[in-house]
Amino acid sequence: MNNFQLKIVSPDGCLYEGEAQLITLMTTQGEVSILAHHTEYVASIGMGRATVVTEEGRRYGACIGGMLMVAENKVNIVATTFEWKEDIDVERAKAALAYTEAELAKDGLDETRRTLLEAKKHRAKVRLAVAEN
């Protein structure tokens, strides 16, 4: 299979730099898969599982927000948050989910607070789904 250069960075630093055969992740417009020699492409990243396939195998991560850029057989991901499956703190994600669900159940939330809590709830669910599968 053909390879491309993949770089994944977040505010935490460089999380991956090397060759890959495939990356699949969620954009704000839906899930995309990138193979070698993909056409030039730029997209906003949504919230979901990222799958990276290399010669060593598959790796999964929780990717939340950012930008995806493809050009000249190079893929750059600048993520707001990116956590490899093995680095996800499951107990913290469960606590975040429980907190947001409890907050969302309260009466009188304004729309801004509700929107922020829904986003936090979705992030926690993504982390748990990646960690547990």
pLDDT classification of 80: cutoffs 50, 70, 90: very high
What distance in Å separates the CA atoms of residue 99 and residue 121, rounded to the nearest whole number? 9
Among candidates 23, 16, 79, which has minimal Cα distance to 51? 23
Half-sphere exposure at residue 19, Cβ-oriented, CA atoms within 13 angstroms: 10
Q: The whole model's pTM is what? A: 0.89
Write down the CATH superfamily of domain 4-86: F0F1 ATP synthase delta/epsilon subunit, N-terminal (2.60.15.10)
What are the tens digits of pLDDT across the range 59-68?
999 999 999 9
- Cβ burial, residue 7 (10 Å; 0-12/13-18/19+): middle
What are the tens digits of pLDDT across the range 41-75?
999 999 999 999 999 999 999 999 999 999 999 99
Q: What are the residue boundaries of the structural domains of the chain, listed by start?
A: 4-86, 89-131
| CA 111 to chain CA centroid, nearest Å | 25
Which letter does DSSP use for residue 85 in this model? G
